[in-house]
Structure 1
Amino acid sequence: MSLRTHTCGALRADHVDQTVSLCGWVNSYRDHGGVIFIDLRDREGITQVVFHPENADAHATGDRLRNEDVVRITGTCLRREEGMANPKLVTGEIEVDARQVEILNKADTPPFTPDDAARTGEETRLRYRFIDMRRPAMQNILRTRHRVAKLMRDYFDENGFYEVETPFLCRSTPEGARDFLVPSRLQPGEFYALPQSPQLFKQILMSGGIDKYFQIVRCFRDEDPRADRQAEFTQLDVEMSFIDQEDVMNTHEGLMRRIWKEVLDVDVPEIRRMTYAEAMNRYGSDRPDLRFDLELIDVTDIAKGTDFKVFTASIEAGGIVKAIRVPGGAKLSRKETDTLAEWVKQFGAGGLPVSKRENGAWSTGIAKFIEPVGDALAERLGAQDGDLVCFGVSNKPAVVHRVLGELRIRLAHDLGMIRDDQWEWLWVIDFPLVEWDDDRKRWHSLHHPFTSPNPEDMDKLESDTANVRSWAYDLVLNGSELGGGSVRIHDTETQKRVFKVLGIDEEEARAKFGFLLDALRFGAPPHGGIAFGLDRIVMHLCGTTNIRDVIAFPKTQNGADLLTEAPSEVDLEQLKELHLRVNLPQPAATPTPTA
């Protein structure tokens, strides 16, 4: 038999005069001259409970209640007195007159209450996550996360996909981020790896004739956590056979429309496409935030006509000069622009040349250098009085794009150019297949080595490698990458050619990916897929910028779980069973003082 007849968010005026039983946590306690009120809370809401002195036993027990005690209360649902309704609560028209009270668990004084969480440090909240979870905001996030996962499963079921589980204990094939390794007890000296992605398995599922696969799956990457990234995360993983790039993108546009409509009642329009080259040239990023303008404008040809050596020297070395016009930015002080100049250095800039447009002329900053080409520059940029112009210059175009790409985002935030209710969607397509790694002196995959080159560029694979496009695509929302994928290589010869470009010889390919290569040899269909960060999707839906807010049990920035105190040392016997020995780095010796 259930301990309760209703949840704390269920009672309305229709329930008046009914005998009800509620269970939950004491959210607050108030004594109004002998009449005691508590707000009783569970995940569905809050109900006010009143204890009258004439119900002596219930009143005596109610007098002992304090925040976070767990109780069961039986009483009569009553309409609140006129003028006492609380419009902030869905249960605000009623209260429960307590007749019987059972303390199910008397709580110690908590380190904080759910109402205090916003004023409590994150470290404390994560250490006592079970209290933090009682917050209505946190419960709404987890409810939203559940709804999103269910919507995904329903959508893919309706579209003929099978949900298939793939292994967690896999072969280590490090590509990019480091693997989490798991020692094998039965094969001494050998290790499993936790999957960074089910990539190889889902391709094998396509070779196995599954045709349409999806999975909501945990993945692991041993990398430094960031605000939008965790070492342990959840992704929606999808693969489809007999498709092209448009099939994959159209299928997942439909998914996003379903989710945003069901959760937020927001209509997602047809999502536009933008090439990687255009995104980088106009916004300095492959995940551009389109909620504001601040586009990068190439002014290299105009900058050639100045005497500013920073410009001319970079141009002579094969570099470029680009600029951002900041409407109304002339209000920024010298101190503020100097701060920006220091800030951009972390992205490879030597500084930040700026100038302001005032009274039809250029002023401050590098005004005297650009005045000879001032009219042409103003026309190119559309500069108006009151604008600030920031220049990016380098002999490496990639540095200019990164510097101005980061700067436009900061300026938009600092100057209040972004509305919280905007949703700007974008597919970025035509990524380069590979990038050159100066440190290792070799090409590496921009996505992964199983991404198919664009068929139109196959003849350039060995001869003009830098300009080979891939059949890859990322879905971007408000400057955040929600997910990315590609059409895969499905024939052995193309896969060998790509491996060769990447410097992966046959022996290495066989050792790392032999099982996939076998699957390709024995008849793999054309296939492609995508993966979305479930955590990131929920972040957008719930309006938070911290991934830890949307995960029930997150790790800190250094990968620690404060609740369970993981990672931790393990017993020596466990290490012996696994044939392991810990070899910690020794602290540096303290130098011996000399006379």
Structure 2
Amino acid sequence: MLRTNTCGELRISEVGKTVTLCGWVQTLRDKGGVVWIDLRDRYGVTQLIFEEGQASTELINLATSVGREFVISATGVVTERYSKNDKIPTGDIEIKVEKMEVLNKSKVPPFLIEDDTDGGEELRMKYRYLDLRRNPVSSKLKLRHKMLQATRSYLSNQDFMEVETPVLIKSTPEGARDFVVPSRVNQGEFYALPQSPQTFKQLLMVSGFDKYFQIVKCFRDEDLRADRQPEFTQIDCEMSFVTREDILNTFEGLVRFLFKEVKGIEVGEFVHMQYDDAMRLYGSDKPDVRFEMPFVEINSVAKGKGFGIFDQSELVVAICAKGCAEYTRKQLDALTDFVRKPQIGAKGLVYLKCNQDGTFKSSVDKFYSQEDLKQWAEAAGAEAGDLLLVLSGDTDHTRKAMNELRLEMGNQLGLRDDSVFKPLWIIDFPLLEWDEETQRYHAMHHPFTSPNKEDLKLLDIDPGAVKANAYDLVINGVEIGGGSIRIHDRETQALMFDHLGFTPEEAKAQFGFLMDAFEYGAPPHGGIAFGFDRLCALFGGSQSIRDYIAFPKNTSARDVMIDSPSMVSPDQLKELGIKLDK
């Protein structure tokens, strides 16, 4: 090794020890008779000192010649610092350098390699290898590493076997768009990159591997947001001979273990909530339950009073903001502007202030008496000093808009505390959802999800009413993972394909291998997949998963560092049998 120690480990107890450190020059301070260099590696920063009279002129000249991000090696004696720095672990000591070597020079970096940098996001992504030297970035990858190790430890100790599944697979029509890969050997045919290892992990259950996991790369060619990337990582798991409760209990255990090992905290109860209740009370299948403020439907007390907007609406729904009756007109106008944003799409906002003197003030006073407004307040459980916010319209759209308003109020009132974690299982999703564009049902999760046994009879008469034996784990309003008990017999799977609009020939062409496998003793099985990047972001307190990926893509699905995707040569296309129209 070129070094005896890292730049983050030396302490006052090691004064007098001769050491060799290697790293990057973070800062240089030349005070005439004394030169200091802060030397950095991924473990920390250690101060080097060069003093006239104790170091040779040649050594001091060499020290003053280096620039930011030069790679150097320095050998010297650990000494106690005269002016200590309590902001870094090595702040009690410095190295009195006796020998130094420049291992490599550096151009002036395009932005400061410091915690508070002057580089914009696009510039930092172009020079991602430099950005990764900064503590706020490297610490996120350290967190990711710790979570990887803890996940493998927990699952291995639960007798799960890690099995790798193929990356070049078959394209399927369900779900998001596939990334496709042309075959040179079989020209005119294409592989797809996996959106998940779903069918392979089910085949592993048929094979007798009753507990499988894989920390696996998956690929989806979809529009990007802060929490999406074209390639992402899943903790992918499957189990045989289990019920839904077995899976929920097992993976509650995993999540509790991760919180304990990585963050040192105990999480509370994992509440179970039905999908229908989540939509009715929160307008979302991933509600943030760190705070209350559930929806209250007030159709019965708000309609029929001559206010046409409410009378013509399918749903009139309110939330109660505790202690907010003192909101000013300016604040209420800002909330109205918020719900009118195109991405939210409400036409307006009605409010009701519950005054301290027991009277009520609303934005629709001319349509409602004080007794009418009192009924609103009572229906919503509002008390003196509270504020009711009311939206109306068609049910689905109004609930979605109210969900956004509820979250905004949670932000304004400081109720979405990043140090608090509230896990929630959403269960009993609809099995199928109707698509207006294609005029047919699609699987809400995927085509291999089992319907609840008691709903199987409804498939032919009311497909939209069938509930799936499916579940999502939500923490603080973020979907962390989801899964289901799978269909494990050929007849039910064929019935499912039929209701999804597959002809028998199409089902055989796409999934015949799985249907055939079900005829050789497939066990009852189910599983779950966690979005690992999303889980890391939650643990790290970030909104974007890109912070936890070493070399992410931008929102245009480009890697600006290596300039990918890019054109390929005509010769490569010719080998693949691909002709581009001119």
Using structure 1 for the length normalisation, give the TM-score. Answer: 0.94
Q: Per the alignment, in what secondary structure is the counterpart of residue 67 of structure 2?
A: coil
1:78 and 2:79 correspond? yes
Distance 1:370 1:466, change over 3 A: farther
Show CA shifts across 1:192-228 (max 9, x none): 1100000011111111111111000000000111111
Q: Per the alignment, in what secondary structure is the counterpart of residue 312 of structure 2?
A: helix
**Aligned equivalents of 1:249, 1:159: Cα separation in 2:** 14
**Aligned equivalents of 1:523, 1:236: Cα separation in 2:** 27
Alignment of 1:221-236 (within 5 A): 221-236=220-235
State the Cα distance separating 1:386 from its structure 2 match.
Answer: 4.0
Q: Which residue of 2 aligns with 1:123?
A: 122
Candidates 315, 319, 322, aligned match of 1:320 = 315
Show CA shifts across 1:320-342 (max 9, x none): 21111222444142431331231
State the Cα distance separating 1:548 from its structure 2 match.
Answer: 1.0
State the Cα distance separating 1:61 from its structure 2 match.
Answer: 1.1
**Aligned equivalents of 2:180, 2:154: Cα separation in 1:** 34
**Aligned equivalents of 2:109, 2:152: Cα separation in 1:** 38
Q: Which residue of 2 aligns with 1:293?
A: 292
State the Cα distance separating 1:511 from its structure 2 match.
Answer: 1.2
**Aligned equivalents of 1:248, 1:114: Cα separation in 2:** 45
**Aligned equivalents of 1:551, 1:88: Cα separation in 2:** 28
Candidates 346, 353, 356, aligned match of 2:353 = 356
**Aligned equivalents of 1:286, 1:204: Cα separation in 2:** 30
**Aligned equivalents of 1:341, 1:230: Cα separation in 2:** 28
Q: Which runs of 5+ in 1 are unaligned?
A: 585-595
Show CA shifts across 1:371-426 (max 9, x none): 362111111112234433222222x3211221111211122113322222111110
Alignment of 1:262-341 (within 5 A): 262-314=261-313, 319-330=314-325, 331-332=327-328, 333=330, 334-341=332-339
Show CA shifts across 1:62-95 (max 9, x none): 11122111100000011112xx121111111111
Q: Per the alignment, in what secondary structure is the counterpart of residue 194 of structure 2?
A: coil
Write the letter of the residue equivalent to 2:71.
Answer: V
**Aligned equivalents of 2:199, 2:349: Cα separation in 1:** 45
Count of residues in Structure 1 that have an aligned counterpart in Structure 2: 575
Q: Which residue of 2 aligns with 1:588?
A: none
Instruction: Give the % identical residues.
Output: 48
Show CA shifts across 1:138-167 (max 9, x none): 111111111111111111111111111111
Q: Per the alignment, in what secondary structure is the counterpart of residue 501 of structure 2?
A: coil
Conserved 8 A contact 1:340-1:352 = no
1:111 and 2:110 correspond? yes
Q: Which residue of 1 aligns with 2:10?
A: 11
Q: Which residue of 1 aligns with 2:43?
A: 44
Q: Per the alignment, in what secondary structure is the counterpart of residue 131 of structure 1?
A: helix
Moved over 6 A (4+): none
Show CA shifts across 1:285-325 (max 9, x none): 111001112211011111223211111112xxxx2211112
Q: Per the alignment, in what secondary structure is the counterpart of residue 8 of structure 2?
A: coil
1:414 and 2:409 correspond? no
**Aligned equivalents of 2:284, 2:334: Cα separation in 1:** 24
Conserved 8 A contact 1:113-1:131 = no
Distance 1:341 1:367, change over 3 A: farther
Q: Per the alignment, in what secondary structure is the counterpart of residue 559 of structure 1?
A: coil
**Aligned equivalents of 1:340, 1:361: Cα separation in 2:** 27
Q: Which residue of 2 aligns with 1:212?
A: 211
Write the letter of the residue equivalent to 1:356.
Answer: K
Conserved 8 A contact 1:235-1:533 = yes
Q: Per the alignment, in what secondary structure is the counterpart of residue 6 of structure 2?
A: coil
Q: Which residue of 2 aligns with 1:191?
A: 190
Q: What value does the CA root-mean-square deviation take over the aligned residues? A: 1.5
Alignment of 1:120-269 (within 5 A): 120-269=119-268
Q: Which residue of 1 aligns with 2:558?
A: 560
Conserved 8 A contact 2:214-2:236 = yes
Q: Which residue of 1 aligns with 2:63?
A: 62
Conserved 8 A contact 1:129-1:563 = yes
**Aligned equivalents of 1:424, 1:119: Cα separation in 2:** 36
Q: Which residue of 1 aligns with 2:31?
A: 32
Q: Per the alignment, in what secondary structure is the counterpart of residue 391 of structure 2?
A: strand
Write the letter of the residue equivalent to 1:58.
Answer: L
Write the letter of the residue equivalent to 1:415.
Answer: L
Candidates 479, 482, 488, aligned match of 1:481 = 479
Conserved 8 A contact 2:111-2:117 = no
Report the more deviating stretch, 460-469 or 549-558.
460-469
State the Cα distance separating 1:117 from its structure 2 match.
Answer: 5.1
State the Cα distance separating 1:581 from its structure 2 match.
Answer: 2.6
Q: Which residue of 2 aligns with 1:404?
A: 402
State the Cα distance separating 1:34 from its structure 2 match.
Answer: 2.1
Q: Per the alignment, in what secondary structure is the counterpart of residue 257 of structure 2?
A: helix
Distance 1:512 1:550, change over 3 A: same
Write the letter of the residue equivalent to 1:461.
Answer: L
**Aligned equivalents of 1:23, 1:287: Cα separation in 2:** 48
Conserved 8 A contact 1:355-1:367 = no
Alignment of 1:451-462 (within 5 A): 451-462=449-460
Show CA shifts across 1:32-53 (max 9, x none): 2320011111001111110112
Report the more deviating stretch, 180-189 or 500-509.
500-509
State the Cα distance separating 1:474 from its structure 2 match.
Answer: 0.5
Report the more deviating stretch, 320-329 or 293-302.
320-329
State the Cα distance separating 1:514 from its structure 2 match.
Answer: 1.0
**Aligned equivalents of 2:383, 2:366: Cα separation in 1:** 18
Write the letter of the residue equivalent to 1:3.
Answer: L
Conserved 8 A contact 1:117-1:132 = no
Distance 1:302 1:471, change over 3 A: same
State the Cα distance separating 1:360 from its structure 2 match.
Answer: 3.0
Show CA shifts across 1:500-550 (max 9, x none): 222222111111111111111221100000000110111011111111111
Show CA shifts across 1:234-276 (max 9, x none): 1110011111111111111111111111111011223111111
Write the letter of the residue equivalent to 1:497.
Answer: L
Distance 1:116 1:138, change over 3 A: closer
Conserved 8 A contact 1:424-1:478 = yes
Q: Per the alignment, in what secondary structure is the counterpart of residue 494 of structure 1?
A: helix
Q: Per the alignment, in what secondary structure is the counterpart of residue 104 of structure 1?
A: strand
Write the letter of the residue equivalent to 1:552.
Answer: A
**Aligned equivalents of 2:449, 2:539: Cα separation in 1:** 30
Q: Which residue of 2 aligns with 1:589?
A: none
Alignment of 1:402-551 (within 5 A): 402-551=400-549
**Aligned equivalents of 1:373, 1:51: Cα separation in 2:** 81
State the Cα distance separating 1:364 from its structure 2 match.
Answer: 4.4
Distance 1:116 1:424, change over 3 A: closer
Q: Per the alignment, in what secondary structure is the counterpart of residue 59 of structure 1?
A: helix
**Aligned equivalents of 1:336, 1:385: Cα separation in 2:** 23
Q: Per the alignment, in what secondary structure is the counterpart of residue 260 of structure 2?
A: helix
Conserved 8 A contact 2:274-2:429 = yes
Write the letter of the residue equivalent to 2:352.
Answer: S
